[in-house]
Amino acid sequence: MTAPLDPTVLLVALAGGLLLGLAYFAGLWVTVRRVGKCARPATLLVKSFVVRLLPLLAGLWLASRRGAPALAACLAGFFLARFLAVRVVRQPLAGGKHSRGTEPGVSL
């Protein structure tokens, strides 16, 4: 017999995924901004990836310990953070230029 879904666990997992995603994409943004000024960009990219990936995997592992619905809620929070990060990065700057340096609607 399976246990009923606890809405509190799902909300905590969703919030945790959102926080993990915001931290992951904020770290990615900082890395991208610094890579052009770095003497060893490949080393920076690898170290940044590991530093961003380890807490993300740990958080997903913790969510998975509460069951598949909690893991799904955590992943939903992570993808919500990705959606928000893309929206923020594509916001126009004061001079009318976009923060990525390209036109809106151009996907990578």
Q: Token pair for residue 12?
A: 């905590």
Write down the pLDDT at residue 15: 97
Write down the pLDDT at residue 82: 96
Q: How many residues does the chain have?
A: 108
Write down the pLDDT at residue 100: 53
Of 22, 45, 47, whose CA–CA distance to 34 is shortest?
A: 45
Please, which pLDDT band fits residue 91 given cuts at 50, 70 and 90? confident
pLDDT digits (tens, 9 = 90+) for 27-48: 999 999 999 998 999 999 999 9
Mean per-residue pLDDT for 52-62? 97
Q: How far is CA 72 from CA 13, 15, 21, in A?
A: 8, 12, 14
Q: Token pair for residue 64?
A: 């998975």
